[in-house]
Amino acid sequence: MAVLQFREALLQAIDEEMERDESVFIMGEEVAEYNGAYKVTEGLLDKYGFKRVIDTPISELGFSGIGVGAAMKGLRPIVEFMTFNFAVLAADQILNHASKVRYMLGGQASVPIVFRGPNASAGQLAATHSVAYDSMYAHFPGLVVIYPSEPDDAKGLLKSAIRCEDPVIFMESEQMYGMKGEVSEEKDYIIPIGKAKVKREGGDVTVVASGKMYHVAKKAAEVLAKEGVEMELIDPRTIKPLDMETIIQSVKKTNRCVIVDEAHPYGGMAAEAGFLIQREAFDYLDAPVRRVTLPDAHAPFAKNLFDLWLPDAKKVIDAVNAVTYRN
């Protein structure tokens, strides 16, 4: 196993897929000459040239539309957004076109495109730069939504996303780009889309968390273990399709569940997963499913308020204590 930063794992995936398939190219703001805003595309311009590593104007709607058209004509674009907060400007191309082309044309065309970039909060960037959009995209048929939490998952899932025949929303956390972790050195390493992973086994409570929240839950698990509470920690990795089979099997074992989501509570992934758990595993539950989410309020700028706004390990521990009746 190699030890790589999150950004290096993403770069490996893109590089390997561009080398394997000449139809793969990447476009976005500062991806070429500047090597990417977060250095995910470092060195690709020198290796593949301006035709396959393309700097774009600051026009998310425009270059997303170019990407959708290119995908319909047989290419495999990777569209990088500097942040998914800016991708709102491209929502028409993603939601009204990329997601619906296969359906509206009766399967005569597909849109094999990856939209990728940082999602959710990234420190003190205030309300317009701190939104988690994964649940919004997951609402729409035709889109795959991936939100990895570790470098190994990032590489294996991005390679799968680039090969997918449907449009993929590939979300990363800006705060995780420098994170290091072991990454498989297996040749052509692929992780199937739609498969959750049990990353910590335990018998007392099931906790589901993806992206940056996986690490919040992991920290809580370490604290709880010292108190004799063993958390089973599941990383969905893919928000849509969501691997409910793995989650349900865990809940049937632990009889309790907490879902941690860096999104607002109304209509989020945690709400959907919570509903499915009570529908499929109601008779196994010894306590109501708990959610740990953002409040129904925009991100504050002041650091003390911002830290209070975010889900943290203490909030996860409090939720676990509630479902295990340890309050």
Chain centre to alpha carbon of residue 200: 19
Banded pLDDT at 292 (limits 50, 70, 90)? very high
Q: Is the pLDDT of residue 160 over 90?
A: yes
Is pLDDT above 90 for 327? no
Q: Residue 308's pLDDT is what?
A: 96
240: number of Cβ within 10 Å: 23
Quick check: 26 pLDDT over 90? yes
pLDDT average, residue stretch 234-254: 98
pTM of the model: 0.97
Angle at CA 308, nearest 5°, toward 259 and 314? 50
Identity of the amino acid at 68:
V
Distance CA 94, CA 100 (A): 9
Q: What percent of the chain stands above pLDDT 70? A: 100
Question: pLDDT category, 20, cuts 50, 70, 90?
Answer: very high
Structure tokens of 39?
Answer: 């250095």
In 3D space, the residue among 63, 84, 64, 67 whose CA is nearest the CA of residue 76 turns out to be: 67
CA–CA dist 31, 24 (Å, integer): 14
Q: How confident is the model at residue 69 (pLDDT cuts 50, 70, 90)?
A: very high
Q: Which two tokens stand for residue 219?
A: 């920290």
Using CA atoms in the order 94, 172, 214, 282, what is the torsion angle rounded to 10 degrees? 10
Q: What is the pLDDT of residues 103-133, one digit of tens each?
A: 999 999 999 999 999 999 988 889 999 999 9
CA distance 41 to 24: 14
User: To the nearest whole percent, how much of the chain has pLDDT over 90?
Assistant: 98
pLDDT digits (tens, 9 = 90+) for 186-204: 999 999 999 999 999 999 9
- Give dist(CA 291, CA 285) in Å, integer: 15
Is there a contact between 234 and 247 (Cβ–Cβ < 8 Å)?
A: yes
Question: Residue 33 corresponds to which amino acid?
Answer: E
Q: 94: buried, middle or exposed (CB in 10 Å: 19+, 13-18, 0-12)?
A: buried
Q: Is-catalytic flag, 129?
A: yes
Which one from 129, 232, 262, 264 is the annotated catalytic residue? 129
Beta strand ranges found along the chain (DSSP E): 2-5, 24-28, 53-55, 76-80, 114-118, 144-146, 168-172, 180-183, 197-200, 205-209, 231-235, 238-240, 257-260, 290-292
Structure confidence by residue, pLDDT tens digits, 52-61 = 999 999 999 9
Residue in 60, 172, 232, 272 annotated catalytic: 60
The pLDDT of residue 321 is 98
The residue whose two tokens read 């080398």 is 19
Give the chain's domains with CATH numbers: 2-183 (3.40.50.970), 197-323 (3.40.50.920)
Of 265, 269, 285, 267, the C-alpha closest to 277 is 285
Residue 198, number of CB atoms within 10 A of its CB: 15
- Please tell me the predicted confidence (pLDDT) of residue 41: 98
Q: Of 10, 1, 8, which is closest to residue 170 (Cα–Cα)? A: 10
